[in-house]
Structure 1
Amino acid sequence: MDVHSELRTVPKVAAVVILSVTYARLVSSRFRPGLPRLILVLPVVLLFPFLPMLFTSIHFRTNSGFFISWLCLFKLLLLCFGRGPLDPSFSLISFISLASLPVKLPTKTDPKDQSSFHALSPKYLISTAIKAALFAGLISLYRFKNQLHPNLLLIMICFHIYLSLEVMLATAAIMAGAILGMELEPHFNKPYFSSSLRDFWGHRWNLMVSAILRPSVYVPVRSCMGRGAAVIATFIVSGVMHELMFYYITLLPPNGEGLMFFILHGICTAVEGWWAQHEKWWRPPKILAMVGTIVFVTGTSFWLFYPAMFRGGAQEKGFMELEAMVGLFTGTW
């Protein structure tokens, strides 16, 4: 991987995103929500999934894909129907930031409200620094990957995914907070304390995805087909988008394993919600529920999620890229 070449591609992709989002704001300011607005914004929607392919590395491709092809694209689709976080009345800077970064406009909230928090608070900065240090330490251990047991290596990769998302999203939010004074959208909430699948997916894991799927899939499906169908439909859409993320990683056509992972979790979450409606039915002790949830998520991840993500030697390519990035910052590459 040519790190310098990838870094030169970043401002080019950013410029295309800024111009595209600016165009979407212009269109939405002149056309009411509905089909005309959707038709005019559609070229941007069709363009965004291809932008990450301008990068040659797995990490740049996947990270840009998450921001551009998923979060930003879904926000623009919601805008077409007059829903979601974007509004053409926002200033251009605010509109671009809200569309492309994990932030939202500052609001006056109760200090006990955990739905948002400022990215420049000392507590958050310290927490991010600790996670960045743990991530750096984890990367340094990969030099011994050939001596590690395969299962231990997979466990390390689990923490790698969690910490890398935390650090990546926090960095983007801190930059937006420093420059624009915006609030951070929460992204994780101690997922290791999840006591159910509904708790894990809806309240603790990758909350930005939950926040964007809720108005775009869950709410409209629930209004016409009910809660169970809405849950399953939401997981199916999440599965399709994860297949796209896996394509950015492997550059191989999807084999359906990632989609099956989310369909399985969608069905189990819907059944769990149905069971919860019966107040007198048995409930496991909280500690048992927490252990069972983590075991189920981890076990199904090893079975379906990780094999789909690491096809075609993606794991080794990812290790090589990490070594190249570490070498760039240490001056050994």
Structure 2
Amino acid sequence: MELLRDSIPMVSLASSAAALYARVASAFLRPGLPRLAALLPVVALLAAAPLAFTSSAMLRGTSAFFLAWLGAFKVVLLAAGLGPLAVDGLPVLSFLFTALLPVKLRRGGGCPGAAAKSVSLVSCAAKVAAIATILHLYESKIQLLHRYIRLAMYGIHIYCFLDLLLPCIAAAGSALGMELEPPFDRPYLASSLRDFWGRRWNLMVSAILRPSVYDPVRARAGKAAGVVATFLISGLMHEAMVYYMTLRLPTGEMTAFFLLHGVCCVAEEWCARRWVARRWPPPPRPLGSLLVMAVAAGSSFWLFFPPICREGSEEMLLEEWAAVAAFFQDAGRKLRRAPVRFTD
């Protein structure tokens, strides 16, 4: 790990080499235990690689999401002959892109540029403005705000950051000739918790958990068990993500958060069936969206954010984001001062 320490290029090269090995090994071994045994070193490397970033919690957390969670799950699915990496004839570049980044190739071709069309310039500008405003507050006034206002800002920051980062990755894939599915679908318009988690929020995670957890559990124990098991695994992986960021042992709060939402989704579906059976009119969609946001925010304040924000972790993350803001401000000042030369 000394060679990889705090080195994005070296971690990228090591992860790419491991992914290429997984591709070659899977070409020679049939799905099953022999392939799984051959790919376990890849899973171990992807799980360990984020720890190489010893000086940055943000880099550890982001790379852990990319590699230790999504990447490792994709490799395990590949061992079973499933998942996005098990597509016949997948080009090497597409294989690497899919293995190491939170993207999902669009099957069946789709409409050219469909992913790009789903990204609104106005929406992107609004998210950039929101992040810029929040980063400015991080530098000076954040500790003066009420705790719940700070947590709400963190939630907005996480959403805006992911909804800018992941489409940028998808755009890079599109520029390389890959047709990728969008990672988000306006989660603030979700009409139910099932709609929020299953069809709108962080669709890359849903696409991985569905074949790896939900489908096998549902086939053996039913739909409700599949939903709860999926949220349980998601909670455990979020515990791991918090560990990567804070380097502190899990508290169980993340698991409780996602189990709560899993149970709520099961109860919500049961209530929805009863509602339809009684032929009651559906509630107004804006009311449903408001209730979803209220439940998500309230449970996040209670269980999601405390493990990230306690014992100095909040200050550490704020310092990193303040450094990011200072970097961009300094770069902007240099660009404004740079002379513009015109040539005939």
Give your verdict on TM over 0.5: yes
- 8 Å contact from structure 1 (residues 52, 60) kept in 2: yes
Q: Greater Rg, structure 1 or structure 2?
A: 2
Aligned to 1:100: 100
The corresponding residue for 2:309 is: 310
Shift in CA distance, 155/14, structure 1 to aligned 2, threshold 3 Å? same
Q: Using the alignment, how far apart are the partners of 2:164 and 2:6 within structure 1?
A: 22
Q: 1:122 to 1:255 in 2, by over 3 A?
A: closer
Q: 1:97·1:103 contact (CA, 8 Å) conserved in 2?
A: no
Aligned equivalents of 1:153, 1:131: Cα separation in 2? 17
Residue 51 (structure 2) aligns with: 53
Q: Does the 8 A contact of 1:250 with 1:311 survive in 2?
A: no
Q: Does 1:213 align with 2:212?
A: no
Aligned residues: 321
Report what 1:89 is aligned to: 89
- Counterpart of 1:256 (choices 252, 259, 264) is 252
Q: Deviations over 1:103-125 (max 9, x none)?
A: 415743258xxxx9334x59545
Give, in whole Å, the separation in 1 of the partners of 2:322 and 2:111. Answer: 44
Matching residue within 154, 164, 184 for 1:157: 154
CA contact (8 A) 1:232 1:266 kept: yes
Per the alignment, do residues 62 and 95 of structure 1 end up closer, same or farther by CA in structure 2, a change over 3 Å counting?
same
| 1:2-53 Cα deviation digits (max 9, x unpaired) | xxxx996111110111000000000100011111101100111122121111
Unaligned runs of 5+ in 2: 332-344
Aligned-residue CA RMSD in angstroms?
2.2
CA distance in 2, matches of 1:187, 1:105: 11
- Residue in structure 2 matched with residue 199 of structure 1 by the alignment: 195
Per the alignment, residue 20 of structure 2 pairs with: 22
Q: What is the alpha-carbon distance in structure 2 between the residues aligned to residue 265 and residue 52 of structure 1?
A: 28
Matches of 1:172 and 1:125, distance apart in 2 = 16
The yes-or-no answer on 1:327 pairing with 2:303 is no
| Cα distance per residue 1:149-196 (max 9 Å; x no partner) | 222222111100101111221222222222x12123322111111111
Counterpart-to-counterpart distance in 1, 2:71 and 2:237? 13
Aligned residues of 1:258 and 1:304 also touching (Cα < 8 A): yes
Match of 2:234 in 1: 238
In structure 2, relative to structure 1, the CA distance for the partners of 1:122 and 1:241 (3 Å cut) is closer
Amino acid at match of 1:118: A
Contact 2:236–2:255 under 8 Å retained in 1: yes
In structure 2, distance between residues paired with 1:184 and 1:126? 21
CA contact (8 A) 1:258 1:305 kept: yes
Q: Which amino acid aligns with 2:92?
A: L
Bigger drift between 315-324 and 226-235 goes to 315-324
Percent identity between matched residues is 44
Q: Can you give the 5+ residue segments of structure 1 that lack an aligned partner in the other structure?
A: 1-5
**SS of residue matched to 1:104:** coil
Secondary structure of the equivalent of 1:253?
Answer: coil
Length-normalised TM-score, structure 2: 0.87
Asked whether the equivalents of residues 29 and 89 of structure 1 are also in contact (C-alpha less than 8 Å), the reply is no
Query: Contact 1:257/1:308 (CA < 8 Å) preserved in 2?
Result: yes
Contact 2:224-2:266 within 8 A present in 1 as well: yes
Q: Which amino acid aligns with 1:190?
A: R
